[in-house]
Structure 1
C-alpha cells in the first residue's frame, strides 16, 4: 500500500507566466526497469565521489527542513528521485511543498510525491530540462564488513555542504523496522536522510535515513538504511516501475594489479550551498506558486 500526493506541476520559475496554461496534474507513468551494462569494477573513493556528486539531490521543504535524495531515473523531461518518507512529510503528516537542487546548481519544484506507509520511503518527481544521468542501482545480498560510502546534504554554519563518508556494513537485520535493515559505521549528520548508500563500484545499494538518538551533530556507529531491494519491490507492487538502471552483481576486482584507494576525497566548492540564498529562492518560488494558484483556483 502507498499514499500518493499530488502537489503542483510544471512551473519552472521565473518562466511561470509563460506556463500558466500548462498547469495541471499528472500521475506517474508506467515503464519497465532495464538491465544496465555498467562497469562493476571496484573504484577509488575519488571516482565514486564523482558519481555521487552528480546524482545526490538536495531537498528543501517549505518548512525550511533539509533532506537528501538520489536521482534514479529520467524519462524525457521528467526526473525521478528516491528519498525518505519523513523528508517529504510535515510533522502533521502532510506532504510539503519542496524544491530540489541538482549538482549543476539548478533548482526544480517537486511536482508529485508517492510515499509508502510500510517503509520510510518516498518517490519524488520533478520536471528537469538538463541531460542528467541517474545513479545505477545494484541489488544483491549485502554482507557485514562490506565497504560502503554515504552521500548527503547536512546544513552547518550557514552553509549546506554535501558530505561523502566511507565506512562498512556492520549488520544486516533479519526483521526490518520501517524498512531499515542495513547498519553501517559511516559518519552521518542531520540533513543526510534520504541520501545515498553506495557500494565499492559506486552503485546505489540503499537509502540512508536513521541515525543514533544522541544529541550530537555527527552520528556514527548507529546508522541504518533501507536496501534498494525494498524500494524496488514497493514501486513494482504499486505499478510505479520506471526505466531504472539495475544490476545484480557484486563489485568486481579490477583486472590489473593497480591498488584502488579508498581514501575519501575532500568536498570542493561544487558541493557547497549558501543556506540563505537557497532559502530565499525557495521562499520566492513557493510564494509565486501560491499566487498562481489563487489566480487559477488550484
Structure 2
C-alpha cells in the first residue's frame, strides 16, 4: 500500500478524466494493508483437476476454525459440488486446498457438509501448520449506510454504502487472465433498500448482499471483509461475462455490473441445522469504527489503482473510454457522475449496448424503475440486432439473458409507477445456428482509469467534476 502512495504522488498532475482525487493528506494509514494481510492469510485456493479430461478450474474459501490439526474451511457449495443437492451426489473431481504459504492439503470429500438450502458448504483438511483464522462479523451492515458527508471543498454530498473488500483466486481464462494470481478488490456494500432490484438469484440460495467489488469466476467462496478485516459475507456470484466494443482497434473490454454474496449471518443461523459446531469460531457483533481521513484516502487510492493496473488503450473520445469512466463511478456509487459519463458514451455511439445496461443499473440503484426498465429494454433491442448479425457468438446471448433477468426483477417495483416508455420485450433471443461452436466467455477485466490523457476538452468531460473519486 505504501508503494501505491508514493507512486500516486508521482502521478499527481496526470489527468484522470474521472476526477482529480483528493490528495490533501499524506497517505499514512495502514488500514488497507492490515485488511489485505488478514485476507491473504485466511483465504485458500480450492483447485480441481478432472482426471479424465485433465481440465483444471478453481474456487476459493477461507479458514474459520481449528481443532487440533484439523482446519475448517467455509466456501460456496458450488465450488465443491456441481449441484445443490443434500448431500452432494456430484462432487467436483480432484479437489484439494492450497493455503497462503503454497502448501497443498488433501481433501477428504467425506468432510464436506452443505448448509441447508443456501449455496454454502464447509470442508476440512489436516495440517500441522499454524494458520490464521477468520474473525466473522455479525452485525447490522445497513447501519449508517446512507449519510451526508462534506468534501474538503465544502460540498455536501449523499454517500452510500460501506467499504468492503473481496478476496480470492480468479481462475485462468485466456486472454483476460493468463496466470493464477491472488486478487484483493475494494468496493462498496449497497444499502439494504437499494439491493432489491439486483437480487436476481433464487432467494433460497442466500445471495442477499450486493456489492460493487470487481470479482471473477474462481473467487467464489472467498471472503468479503469489512474495514477491520472481519468476514461479513461469502462471495459467490458475479456477472462473469465480458462485454466489448468491436472496432477498428480490436475488442476493447468493458465491465459493468456488481457482485453477489451470502451474509455471514446466514451461515451462523444455519450451521446448527447441519451439525456444524460454532464453539471454535470467533464472531464479533460490534460494527466497525468510523474511518478517519487517512483511511478514506488510502482506500480511495486502492480504487484508483484497481483501474490503473489493467489499463487498456481506449481513446478519450471513444464510447469505451466513457463507459469505463462511468463504470468506475458506478463502482464507487457516485451515480450522477456515472450517468454523466454514460451520456458522453451514448453521444459518441448510441448503439453501444453496455452503456444502456450501465444506465439501467444506476437508475435501478436510484429507484427510478421506469427509467431503468427503458434502459434495459434499449440494451436488449441493440443486443437482438447484434445477435442476428453475429449468430455464432455466445457473449451477447449471455449478456441478454442477464439484462432480461434484471429488467424482469424490477417489473413488480413499477406497480405504482407510470408505464415504461419502451414496451416490454418478451421475444426470445435469436438462436445460434446449428453448426455454430459455443465457447465459454472469459471474465471481464476491471473498469479502467487512464494513466494519461490529452488536455481536457470541454466536449469530452462529464458535466459534474466531484472532489473525490471515492
CA distance in 1 between counterparts of 2:141 and 2:294 reads 23
RMSD: 2.6
Give the one of 270, 282, 291 matched to 1:245: 282
Other-structure match for 1:49: 36
CA deviations 1:51-88 (Å, max 9, x no partner) are: 01100010012332210001111111001011111110
Give unpaired runs (5+ residues) of structure 2.
Answer: 1-28, 51-55, 146-160, 244-252, 307-470
Alignment of 1:114-125 (within 5 A): 114-125=113-124
When residues 80 and 204 of structure 1 are mapped into structure 2, their CA distance, relative to the original with a 3 A threshold, is same
When residues 93 and 129 of structure 1 are mapped into structure 2, their CA distance, relative to the original with a 3 A threshold, is same
Alignment of 1:1-298 (within 5 A): 44-63=31-50, 64-90=56-82, 93-96=89-92, 97-111=94-108, 112-143=111-142, 144=145, 145-156=161-172, 157-172=177-192, 176-212=203-239, 214-215=241-242, 221-242=257-278, 243-253=280-290, 259-260=294-295, 261-262=298-299, 263-264=301-302
How far the C-alpha of 1:135 sits from its partner, in A, is 0.8
8 A Cα contact 2:113 2:274, kept in partner:
no
8 A Cα contact 2:116 2:273, kept in partner:
no
Select the structure of larger CA radius of gyration: 2
How far the C-alpha of 1:109 sits from its partner, in A, is 1.1
CA distance in 2 between counterparts of 1:189 and 1:218 reads 14
When residues 220 and 72 of structure 1 are mapped into structure 2, their CA distance, relative to the original with a 3 A threshold, is farther
8 A Cα contact 2:42 2:133, kept in partner:
yes
Give unpaired runs (5+ residues) of structure 1.
Answer: 1-41, 268-298
8 A Cα contact 1:184 1:221, kept in partner:
no
Higher relative contact order (CA 8 A, sep 6+): 1
Q: Which has the higher helix share?
A: 2
Give TM-score scaled by structure 1 length: 0.68
8 A Cα contact 2:168 2:183, kept in partner:
yes
Give TM-score scaled by structure 2 length: 0.44
How far the C-alpha of 1:171 sits from its partner, in A, is 4.3
Aligned residue pair count:
224
When residues 219 and 193 of structure 1 are mapped into structure 2, their CA distance, relative to the original with a 3 A threshold, is farther
